[in-house]
Amino acid sequence: MVRSSFSHVDTWVFDLDNTLYPPQMRLFDQIEVRMTHWVMRELGVDQARANHLRGHYWQLYGTTLAGLMREHGIDPAGYLADVHDIDFSVLQPDAQLAGRIRALPGRRIVYTNGDAPYAQKVLAARGLSDLFDAVYGVEHAGYLPKPEAGAFQTVFGLDGLNPKSAAMFEDDPRNLAVPHAMGLRTVHIAPQPEPAPHIHHHANDLSAFLGLLTQD
């Protein structure tokens, strides 16, 4: 039943953080700490204010970076290099996930609100390097983040994918609304479902879900 829903798919789009690794590995926790420290240092605010701004900008603009760029004119490249200077050893290789991604027919791409160099480090730590035909970061959309429609249009345009024969896997349900409207099959990867009209499927384990599609 699930497999037949993807019989038309020839391009597989994966988010990165908390999608290609489970949230319990807590990699993004390190990034959040570095984001808070960056905001404290660069904007001259205390920790409570920095945490407030970080959350406020994420909610309003899609990412903390987008808010910092729009409201403070910060340099995105320097910010991304700083907040991604973290310990990747908390990630573990996943041979089963790698095999199931490899078994997907057609093209496989990564699209993240982080930058591509960071994404490559995550993929290497997870044993997923060389599985993807392309890796797109927020820089490929001119630093416009998901869930902005223009971000998806730019990245998908660069890739040349046909939205009506593509599927997207993503942990943030907001980031599936535009892909759904464009015609992609949408899969929400998260511990708990958040039912919404723009979400076709939910799974709490990406590898297990891909196993239903590849029947390995």
Q: Which residues are within 8 A (CB) of 192 and not within 5 positions of it... i.e. 6 or more apart?
A: 204
Looking at residue 216, its pLDDT comes to 56
Residue whose entry in the numeric block shows the structure tokens 């910060």: 74
Nearest to 142 by CA among 53, 42, 65: 65
Quote the distance between the C-alpha of residue 202 and its chain's center: 16
Token pair, residue 44, equals 């001259």
DSSP 22-68: -GGG-HHHHHHHHHHHHHHHHHT--HHHHHHHHHHHHHHHSSHHHHH
Task: Outline where DSSP puts E strands in the chain.
Answer: 11-14, 107-111, 134-136, 166-170, 185-189, 201-203
Contact 34, 27 (CB under 8 A): no
| CA pair distance 133, 107, nearest whole angstrom | 6
Q: Is 174 exposed, middle or buried (0-12, 13-18, 19+ CB in 10 A)?
A: middle
User: Tell me, what DSSP letter sits at residue 99?
Assistant: H
The answer to whether the beta carbons of residues 125 and 89 sit under 8 Å apart is yes
β-strands 166-170, 11-14 pairing: parallel
Spatial distance between the Cα atoms of 8 and 80, rounded to a whole number of angstroms: 36
For residue 215, what pLDDT is reported?
78
Each residue's pLDDT expressed in tens, for the chain with a length of 216 residues: 799 999 999 999 999 999 999 999 999 899 999 999 999 999 999 999 999 999 999 999 989 999 999 999 999 999 999 999 999 999 999 999 999 999 999 999 999 999 999 999 999 999 999 999 999 999 999 999 999 999 999 999 999 999 999 999 999 999 999 999 999 999 999 999 999 999 999 999 999 999 999 975
Domains in the chain with CATH codes: 3-21+91-214 (3.40.50.1000), 27-83 (1.10.150.450)
pTM, to two decimals: 0.94
